[in-house]
Amino acid sequence: MIDNLFELFKKFIEVPDDEPQDDNAMVLAAVSLMLEVARSDAGGEQVEHAVIRNILTSEFNVEGGLVDNLLEAGVERVEGAIDLFQFTQLINEHYSHDQKEGLIYAMWRVALADGKVQAIEDHIIRRVAGLIYVAHSDFIRLKLKARG
């Protein structure tokens, strides 16, 4: 009985074997986390999506149509997600500490795109930072850096 429950639980937390584990999957996880910030406050999604597009082209070196595909796939993932673990697990497995800090910085840039950080945006970024083991002092430093 306990073994059956354990197997059922594992199905909910594991990334499926047929899930691509390439660079696009890692970028998609990052995009999904940025989109979670963008959709958390009402109103500024167009501006925030523009910032995400800019981040994808400048920081992730994603080109043209792939940007739109990643955004579309990210929106679907975020809408179907029940938690952040499916995204942060991939980040933890494949990103260096510097890349994790880069992601938190990117999330702050998205949150600041409309000129103000909502409490829910701060909360989401704080949660992600904790889940990917970015220290609180780095979380604050990256927030200040994004503010300019």
Residue 114 CA to residue 137 CA, distance in Å, equals 24
Asked if residue 82 belongs to a domain, the reply is yes
Asked if residue 65 belongs to a domain, the reply is yes
pLDDT number for residue 65: 85
pLDDT number for residue 64: 82
Residue 136 CA to residue 113 CA, distance in Å, equals 22
Residue 47 CA to residue 53 CA, distance in Å, equals 10
What CATH number is associated with residue 71?
1.10.3680.10
- Full pLDDT tens readout for the chain, 148 residues: 444 433 433 433 344 444 444 678 899 999 999 999 999 987 778 899 999 999 999 998 888 889 999 999 999 999 999 999 999 999 999 999 999 999 999 999 999 999 999 999 999 999 999 999 999 999 999 999 999 8
Residue 77 CA to residue 84 CA, distance in Å, equals 10
Residue 131's nearest CA partner among 77, 79, 91 is: 91
Q: How many domains is the chain built from?
A: 1
pLDDT number for residue 120: 96
Asked if residue 95 belongs to a domain, the reply is yes
Asked if residue 33 belongs to a domain, the reply is yes
Asked if residue 39 belongs to a domain, the reply is yes
Where in the sequence is the domain holding 120, given as residue range(s)? 22-147
Residue 106 CA to residue 112 CA, distance in Å, equals 10
